[in-house]
Amino acid sequence: MSLSKTFYSIAIVLSLSGCAAALVPATSDPNKKLAQAYDLLSVYRPKPARQLIDESIEIFKERGDKEKLAYAYMVSTDYYRYVASEAYRQFDPSKPTWFVKPIPWQSVYGVRTERVWTAHKLAEDAYKQIIEEAIAAKDHLKASMNYQFLYLLYARNAQKPEACSALDGELEQYKLAKAAKPDLQIFYDTSKYNSPTEVVEDIRKKLKCNEL
């Protein structure tokens, strides 16, 4: 078989496989869709990435899963950061993307555009509502975990005061959860820290929150 026929055959197989994008396995799992979106964004494939993010958002809306929906909104902020990044502006779209060096996630943090802010507001409002409802229900662990995601949202957007405030909320709610359930177990790096409190305090120290 000739090389051209081989590529044609591959294209036919991919088109019939139900893949959201070539070489990306089709999945109905919205969590996997978001992970795939990051992989695609890192190699300059924004269109299929956007499709996967939008599909995830719709699935979480239909399920009424507020926490996963908030996370999908946060992924959307990263999408707009990627497409507005210096790496994307310098990339030649006429070149194949199969063998390009992936763009590190952290390299796009801090990029802020109008579309980033729009997605950011959706995520921020969603997390704040989740936290408010969790506190009202005295579900302090849930509130603490979502303060953690709110911190990540602010940190990626280079909002230092807001990030520090979210860390304070996370720590406060964790202590309340621990007081209510002394045997509460939280995953953290035990090789570096003695408690979840130390983890948060270390992040606060690195951000120099006490200097604000």
Residue 105, token pair as written in the block: 């996630």
Distance of CA 179 to the CA centre of its chain: 30
161 and 210 fall within a common domain: yes
| pLDDT value, residue 93 | 80
Under 8 Å CB-to-CB from 200, ≥6 apart: which residues?
167, 170, 171, 174
106 in the same domain as 142: no
Task: Write down the pLDDT at residue 114.
Answer: 96
Which of 111, 130, 153 corresponds to the end of one domain? Answer: 111
pLDDT at 4: 38
Greatest Cα pair distance, the chain, in angstroms, is 70
CB-based contact 90:117 (threshold 8 Å): no
Residue 73 maps to a domain = yes
Judge whether 150 lies within some domain.
yes
What's the pTM? 0.85
* C-alpha angle 103-104-107 in degrees, rounded to nearest 5: 100
In a domain, 145, yes or no: yes
pLDDT for residue 119 is more than 70: yes
pLDDT band at 6 (very low <50, low <70, confident <90, very high): very low
Structure confidence by residue, pLDDT tens digits, 11-24:
333 333 334 455 67
State whether 39 and 77 are in the same domain: yes
- In the predicted model, is pLDDT for residue 65 greater than 70? yes
Which residues span the domain enclosing 47?
A: 24-111
Neighbours of 99 (CB within 10 A): 7
Cβ(124)–Cβ(157) under 8 Å? no
Are 31 and 93 found together in one domain? yes
Could you read off the pLDDT of 67-114 as tens digits, one per residue? 999 999 999 999 999 999 999 988 988 777 777 888 887 889 899 999
Q: Does 45 fall in a domain?
A: yes
How much is the pLDDT for 23?
60
CA distances from 66 to 61, 127, 133, 174 (A): 8, 8, 11, 20
pLDDT of residue 148: 97
- Give the pLDDT of residue 143: 98
- Indicate whether 155 and 102 sit together in one domain: no
d(CA 141, CA 115): 32
Query: In total, how many domains does the chain have?
Result: 2
Would you say residue 149 lies in a domain?
yes
pLDDT tens-digit readout, 153-199: 999 999 999 999 999 999 999 999 999 999 999 898 999 999 999 99
